[in-house]
Structures are given as C-alpha cells and as structure tokens.
Amino acid sequence: MAPDGTPRHVPVLLEETLEALSPVRGGRYLDGTVGLGGHAEALLDAAPGSELCGLDRDGEALALARGRLARFGERVRLFHSRYSEFAAALRELGWESVNGALLDIGVSSLQLDEAERGFSFSGDGPLDMRMDPSSGERSAWHWVNRENFGRLKECIATFGEEPQAGRIARAIVEARQKAPIETTAELAALVERAYPAAWRARARRHPATRTFQALRMAVNDELGELRRFLDRILEWLPLGGRLVVITFHSLEDRMVKRAMRHWAEGCRCPRHVAVCRCGHVPEVRLLAKKPLSASDEELALNPRASSAKLRAVEKIAVPPGDGGMGEQA
C-alpha cells in the first residue's frame, strides 16, 4: 500500500511518458484514463502550476485517484466519464485547449486483481468485465450466455485474434444449453477443454487468455472508444501540444499508428497528380518512428508492462477550416 492508503500502483512507461509529454509549468493536461493516478501524479509533480483534467469510467479507481491526487488541490479536476467524452469535461472546465493528452488503455491492476470484477480467470468471480459496473451496460455474462454462435466466434476471432475461435464459440453454445455459464473459472475451464490437446501442450499462456481479452474488449467497446477519441483529440491541441497513447493490444496499437501516420502525412493528392493541389501539410510530427516499449529494468519490476507500446506526436500545424480550435488558450 502507498502512504495515502491507495493500492501500490506502478505506472507503465512512466519516464518515457513524461519525456514524450514534456509538461510545462502552468500547462493544462488531459489524462483520459487516470486509473489510480500514477501518471497524473508524476506529471503534476514535474510541471509546477500545471492543471490536470482526469477521466475514468471506473468509479472505484477514480475514488482512489482522488485520494492520491488530493495534495494538488484545485489543480486537479476528475470526471467519472468515458475518455471518448473528454470534450464535454473540458468545456465544463472552460478549457479551450490542452498542452498535452495521455491515454493508457490497459486494464488496471485494480480491475485484474479483484475477482469480483470478472476480468481475470486467476480468481473465480462473476462474468462481468465492465469498466463501469454502474453503467447498466451488458456484461460478459450476456455475451457468453445470450449471443449467437456467429457473433461469439467473430468477437473471439477479431478482438482476441484467437485461431480456435470457432471451437471455443461452439463449446460455449453447447455448454450453456445445459446450464448458464456463471463464473470466470467455469468459462476458463470450458475454453481450455475446447483447445486441441496439442495446442494446449504448446501454449505459453492459459488457453482462455485471448477469449477473456476479446470479451472484455467487446463489453467495453474499447476499439470504438479509441476511434472516437482519435477522431477529436487533435483539434484540442495547440501548436506544440503533444499526444501520448499507451496500448497493450495489437489492434489498438495499429489504430493509433495509422491515425498518427495519417496526421503526419503531407500532400494527399492522387499519385498521378504531378503538382500538389490539395495544399495539405503535416499536422503533427512523430516523436519516434517506432513505438517505445518497457526496458528490462521495468519488466523486472512490472511484468504486466511486457505488451505496452507508447506512441506520441507533437502538433505542428492547424489544418484549414479548424476554426481556431487548438490555438493556445
């Protein structure tokens, strides 16, 4: 436990995040996934007088972050919200731009370590997996016990990138015809049995890992959240403003990479046009050509950082028609 009573929390890629954000004294920052407040605390310490708008849809995590960040007083404003809805929070604060924005879109240790949240099969709990259990949205139980074979297979194959998606979906459908599948341990055992014996023998991880990941992503519409955020965040950055995104899944990293490279493109005229007519200029510069990953030293302290990838950009131009949004407030 930390001195303030919050669970011990190790922010992933902390030094790399601070270097990429390069926070300035008196700046305004958005942390769309404030979690337990580790990145936010380091940012506020690094930039005296800076302000932070923090969002999280996990109410339990937000309450713990509020305690951790209490020493910063009015410099911190926290909202129980999806990060795709950041614009509403910024408008409520009267902010017209932010000097930097951060997303760390991995599942928090708080969620993974509490069996009753249903994110992990390391402990037996209900099939929930909702980032915000108070949302009233459908839980993993509904996906497992109510969705048809086709949607289950598609979910597991797409979000989990699971080659045995068909066998797993069929096993789930057959099992629930006898009785509902109620717990994480029950589902994990079912998936393990559905795996071919030869695959089980070669597996480096539990056979249910990808299925649980897929269900969690579907339950929380994680790719949709990321897409909506990326569609809007650039207009809220002033010239020199920076965006840092940490992902833990190949589909999320691919989406971030494509968006950032698209923003960094110059002319977008068709190839047969000899002289540029579109007049488009790069809106950002990539702060690193390849994603940053955890060092060996960090992995020794925090093995969950093994799949983390950090990508970052700096805004260098305001596109025509921006209407002034993104200019320094």
State how far the alpha carbon of 251 is from the alpha carbons of 4, 107, 121, 274, in Å. 36, 15, 22, 35
- Check residues 245 and 269 and name the one with the higher pLDDT: 245
pLDDT digits (tens, 9 = 90+) for 121-152: 677 888 988 988 888 889 999 999 999 999 99
- Whole-structure pTM value: 0.89
CA–CA separation, 211 and 26 (whole Å)? 44
pLDDT digits (tens, 9 = 90+) for 307-328: 999 999 999 998 665 544 433 3
Domain with CATH 3.40.50.150 in the chain: 14-108+222-315
Q: Identify whether the C-beta of residue 59 lies closer than 8 Å to the C-beta of residue 117.
A: no
User: Which CATH architecture does the domain made up of 14-108+222-315 adopt?
Assistant: 3-Layer(aba) Sandwich (3.40)
Return the H-helix or E-strand segment holding 172: helix 165-176
pLDDT digits (tens, 9 = 90+) for 64-73: 999 999 999 9
CA–CA separation, 280 and 208 (whole Å)? 46
293 forms bridges with which residues in the sheet? none
Q: Average pLDDT in the 256-270 region?
A: 90
Q: Which fold has domain 132-219?
A: DNA polymerase; domain 1 (1.10.150)
- What is residue 97's three-state secondary structure? coil
Return the H-helix or E-strand segment holding 310: strand 309-315
